[in-house]
Amino acid sequence: MKKYLDQTRRGLPSLKLNLKMKISILFMFMVLFTMQAKTSYSQGTKISLELNNVSVERIIDEIESQTQFHFVYQIKDVDLKRKISVNAQREAVSKILTRMFAHTRTTHKVVDKQIFLKERSISKIEKNEIDVKQEFVITGVVTDMAGQPLPGANIVEKGTTNGVTTDFDGNFSIEVAKDAIIVVSYIGFASKEVPVNGQTSINVSLEESAAALDEIVVVGYGTQKKINLTGSVSSIDTDDLTTRPVTNISSGLSGLAAGVSVVQNSGGTAGGDGATIRIRGVGTMNNSNPLVVVDGVPSEGTDIMNDIDPNDIENISILKDAASASIYGSRGANGVVLITTKRGKSGKSRLTYNTYYGIQSIPKLIEYVSDFADYMEIANRIRPNQQNFSQSDIQEWRDNPNDPLYHPNVNWNEELFGGSAPIMNHSLGYSGGNEKTTYRMSMSYLDQDGITRGNNIQRYGVRTNLSSEVLNGVKLGGNVFFRWTNLSPNALTLSTTSTEWSPSITNLRHPDGRWGGAQSGSVQSISAPYAEIANRIREQNNRRIMGNVFTEWEIFDDFKATAKVALDFNQGISSEFNKRYDIWNFRTEQIIGQIEQNSGRSATIAQYQNYQVNANLLLEYNKNIGDHNIKILGGYETLQYRADGINVTRQQFPNNEVQGVNAGLELIGGGGTIAEWSMQSYFGRVNYNFKDKYLFEANIRADGSSRFKDGNRYGYFPSFSAGWNISEEDFMKDVKGLDYLKIRASWGKLGNNRIGNYPYQSTYALNQNYSFNGEVYSGIAQTALTNEDIKWEETTTTDFGVDARFFNGKLSVNADYFVRKTDGILTALPIPQFLGGKTEPVVNLASMENKGVELSVGHRGQIGEVSYNVSANVTKLHNEVTDYFSDIVTGGTQIGYAFNSFFGYEVVDIFRTEEQLANAAEHRPFTKLGDLEFKDQLTVDTNGDGVPDEGNGVIGTEDRVIIGNRIPKYSFGGNIGFNYKGLDFSMLFQGVAKRDRNTWDYMITPMNWVDKGVIPQRWVDNEWTPGNPDAILPRMANESQSFIIEESDFWVKDVSYLRVKNVQLGYDLTHSALLTDTLSKLRVYVSADNLFTFTNEEWGFDPETDDVRSVPNVRTITLGLNVAF
């Protein structure tokens, strides 16, 4: 049923205003208000200038072109050829002129719209001093300690207002007195004073310092100074993404921020790494993904992180606590990832080009028995009653070890995963602008083969960001992003079963093109993985347009309004065609399998599209009153979402070449879906600080969602936070080595609207059979029970944090303690079977708590000409279900344990002696020496005190307990890097500890299905046998007669690991004589991803992935180039 969010509010008049009317009325009030505040032209006119090393005459022309001012002067009174630099943002013209003509012979006077320039009235001596001072010109370059230029650095003659800024390449030129001292400063670096002493060329290197606290951090619907943050926000240095080959943003975040866990579940798959992102643990039993916001536009799901070129990113902020995320209300309960893309800057245009080429391979594979003669002997021993293989077959294979056609010994794991795959990326960007308009355009292209056969992605991206001040105080702009993807999906998903069931007997392919199957008559049902991959054709074409347009109006000083409309549109089509082919036994020249024989080939085509329209209006007031600073934000936002899908399947095609779905003669299926939902929200934020010392912030958001029934649609989500910059107190001023110390605390409440669409409504299904008068009829019936009173899940977070800097910014420490509790988690309510097997209703029942500690430490310094940096972060997390079905103890989700824990048997040992077997509890029939012995849990109350104190002597389902936790207790990461002249080196590491995973799978269990299956070599080498009673693995046995496949702590293992995620060595030729004036940057590098992994995982799986069947993360060796013009 189509549902829209009710726009009315209880208790209010029934006046209904749409968004257009609301905006129009608001702007009318703004105009009326500003009419009352109008001042004279000279007082109210403000302009922006960013001109470097230009003449005074040029600046006068620029002011006249931007304003209605007219200059009046005599040439003899003004040095029009004098070169200066001016950097002004929204500044009164009079102030700019005062700075321009300081310490010169010229003064100015503004009369209405005329500006008079005349000679200053000074003595002859003073005039000579001024003339001497302005005659001396020095030039130079400002860089960081690694030699990288610092564009926009300030160079000021000490004791004066005479100053310039560096250009894009760090160059500057300034006129000063011969005995002057210049002060060089740059945000994030320690200022440096340099005596001129008659030098005409001065190069300055600045060292990073605690001034980084002035860094601007992106937060919800705005920005804040880092020093004034009271919430828990991690800001990611984009150099960590752009200086190394990162295909997906999600993979680039791994290990960079405390409290943020990124698990790459299929890093070897082209088209996405299958990343799972969790911020401060798992907060709900439903969708725990964070909200991703790109340039102020919220996105449904985290897949947008696979679409954006990392080279386009300016900043990534991660909002972790309720104080920082509550401004997003019901969509921010699991944290928020804010992505801001790069903008153009006024000044010189810049062209950048980044490219890399790499080779991917899997570092480690599971080793299987690939000699088929050995395989047959082991198979006969495991299944003695079946005798799959004759001795003549075994001998025949031993006698023909080099006959791949008739006696194959194929290592399918090596064939499917053991090769290499190329990856190539190109990214081109062009940016620039002037004081009114800035722009940036970029294009990107990715071509990546997955590690599995047939998997490839080609991704094309185009982005344009534009902003222009069209009127005085009025700015218009927009961001548009387009992505086109051609994907051949991971072929392994088509042949997982074949892989785990295929021993080495299956032939690859006959030279004449025929597909080979099992080449032994003893095995008839083995699949042919290569044949399945090659004869099932799958393609996906996806298009995405994401963009917004905005207008920003500075109504008067300290007050502005911003209106934005955004669209996120996705459209795609996928197709699959299953060819008709035969499987041969080449030894007998017989067909042993006819694939798609009955269907005569089949094809499926599916098309989908979804879009989200988002509009918001923001009002911002920022006022400084003495030592008091107040910022107020108010906003209104609406969101509309719709998704459509359709699919059809046909069969009986004439041949393998005609693959269009319309060529199939028989329609066997089809369907379609439509889903819609909407939200409207009101929100506000108040920030207050006194002397940047005492800080306070309050947020409130009211969200209304159509997914809930009328009466429960609105949720209200407040937060409060406070901070104290202790280092600003007088009693802390003399503490040596301490640059900055702040403590902060926050509390807030968030919601979760990701509950599916309209679960409170009853649903009915067609084609439901029923009996009437002895006849069966087809009708319509309710198939699910519903709960009309479901409400918002609510997450309450409390956070205490400390931020500190020491020794002029060389050492930084950030620590947080948090408690995050979610109540009213929606979960299915079990119902009795006599109700007809209907789907269970959803109720607000469960509660969950995450609490933990985060610690980040960083150090940077310099030894001679070598600058270095070291950083590390660690998170300790405890997850616990605090409320659930108290009488349910048969699953992994139980009160007092982590969510979705592993539930199974505890293993005592392997049965190694007859005495041990005789004294143990009763196990499954046919249990023998070499099998697993399970613990007989205390399930019987012998003394009636209500506490079980004995086992019942029989191993059964009641003996299952919680045996492992899939949520890691510790996660950590870090960086090490150094720079020496043009040489740079970096290493990134990441890992987890105290994390369990179930390693059981058909890919591990020997001979897992009748006459087929794999046999791991590790099992062969470590199996219990009468001759090897101290072995660490049980005997290989028929799974139907053994507890071997039951979930137990024999399979659930700690898979803690430490991984070297990236090692990179680069050389920057920026200051090399090889560079021309046109080429401003040239850097080459070699990079290695997933170079080493240290883990106690025993079988050979990738310990990072959640599923043993996932494609492992690949090791990638890359050669890259960064160029700028």
Domain boundaries, the chain: 41-211
- pLDDT tens, 482-493? 999 999 887 655
Does pLDDT of 42 surpass 70? Answer: no
Does pLDDT of 1013 surpass 80? Answer: no
- pLDDT tens, 467-476? 999 988 899 9
**3-class secondary structure for 1076-1118?**
CCCCCEEEEEEEEEEEEEEECCCCCCCCCCCCCCCCCCCEEEE
- Higher-confidence position of 775 and 468: 468
Question: Which amino acid does the sequence have at 249?
Answer: I
Does pLDDT of 522 surpass 80? Answer: no
Question: Which amino acid does the sequence have at 111?
Answer: V
Distance (Å, whole) CA 603 – CA 205: 65
Q: Give the pLDDT of residue 207.
A: 74
Does pLDDT of 876 surpass 70? Answer: yes
- Crossing angle between the packed helical segments 56-66 and 93-100, to the nearest 10 degrees: 180
Residue 832 forms beta bridges with which residues?
none
- pLDDT tens, 831-859? 776 666 677 888 888 999 999 999 999 99
Does pLDDT of 443 surpass 90? Answer: yes
Q: Give the pLDDT of residue 187.
A: 65
DSSP assignment of 260-315: EEEEES-TTSTT---EEEEESS---SS--PPEEEETTEEESSSGGGGTS-GGGEEE
Across 886-910, average pLDDT:
87
Distance (Å, whole) CA 71 – CA 1098: 81
Distance (Å, whole) CA 85 – CA 163: 7
Q: For 168, which DSSP code?
A: T
Q: Give the pLDDT of residue 501.
A: 57
DSSP assignment of 505-551: TB--B-TTSPEE-B-STT------HHHHHHHEEEEEEEEEEEEEEEE
Does pLDDT of 249 surpass 90? Answer: no
Does pLDDT of 10 surpass 70? Answer: no
- pLDDT tens, 200-240? 888 888 876 544 555 778 888 888 888 888 999 988 877 77
Burial class of residue 203, CB neighbours in 10 A (0-12, 13-18, 19+): exposed
CATH topology of domain 41-211: Immunoglobulin-like (2.60.40)
- pLDDT tens, 163-205? 777 876 788 888 888 788 888 887 667 778 888 887 888 888 8
Mean pLDDT estimate for the chain: 84
Closest CA to 307 of 543, 147, 92, 86: 543
- pLDDT tens, 591-630? 888 888 778 889 999 999 999 999 999 999 999 898 899 9
Does pLDDT of 502 surpass 90? Answer: no
- Crossing angle between the packed helical segments 372-382 and 391-399, to the nearest 10 degrees: 160
- The model carries a pTM of 0.80
As a whole number of Å, the end-to-end CA separation of the chain is 56
**Of 182-196, 364-378, 1013-1027, the least confident:** 182-196
**pLDDT band at 2; cut points 50, 70, 90:** very low
Q: Give the pLDDT of residue 1.
A: 36
Two tokens at 435? 């004081």
Contact 1036, 1019 (CB under 8 A): yes
Share of the chain above pLDDT 90, in %: 38
Q: Give the pLDDT of residue 906.
A: 95
**pLDDT band at 1061; cut points 50, 70, 90:** very high
Identity of the highest mean pLDDT range in 243-252, 406-415, 1039-1048, 1112-1121? 1112-1121
Q: Give the pLDDT of residue 74.
A: 73
Contact 275, 292 (CB under 8 A): no
Does pLDDT of 439 surpass 90? Answer: yes
**pLDDT band at 117; cut points 50, 70, 90:** confident
